[in-house]
Structure 1
């Protein structure tokens, strides 16, 4: 998966979990839980959505690496 595909996958997953978030107004340095206000359950749903949509499993030990949108995109690009 290249970076553009990873960006689209991340945006799609965030849109499914948090439909009220306008991705056009969000910076890639935004933190998923703090800035996008995803609670623990939303974050887990995001991880599950990514797994379902892309087949990329994000284990709990890697959650700190995907704490930001930029980190999530980089993770998907590296593991996809």
Structure 2
């Protein structure tokens, strides 16, 4: 998957988790929690969706890498590089 495809996957997950959020002006360098009403359960839902859809295991100590869109895409690129995008 390319970085743009990974970004779209995350957008799709965020749209399902927080359907009332407007993601059109999402700033990729600002933490999700500063831009959206996400709690810790929502964050875990993101991790679980990645596991369910792409079999990506994200250890708890790596959760800090998923704070912004930029850091999330950077973290996921090597894990998803050989995965075919369904986006």
Under a length normalisation based on structure 1, what TM-score does the superposition of the two structures give? 0.86
Aligned to 1:51: 51
Q: Distance in 1 between matches of 2:36 and 2:78?
A: 23
Aligned to 2:68: 68
Q: Distance in 2 between matches of 1:48 and 1:71?
A: 18
- Give yes or no for contact 1:30–1:36 (8 Å, CA) kept in 2: no
Q: Distance in 2 between matches of 1:32 and 1:8?
A: 15
* Gap runs ≥5 in structure 1: none
- Counting only pairs closer than 5 Å after superposition, residues 12-31 of structure 1 correspond to structure 2 as 12-31=12-31
Aligned to 2:2: 2
Give the Å deviation of 1:4: 1.6
- C-alpha root-mean-square deviation of aligned residues, in Å? 1.3
- Give yes or no for contact 1:32–1:67 (8 Å, CA) kept in 2: yes
How many residue pairs get matched?
Answer: 80
Under a length normalisation based on structure 2, what TM-score does the superposition of the two structures give? 0.80
Q: Distance in 1 between matches of 2:31 and 2:7?
A: 15
Greater gyration radius: 2
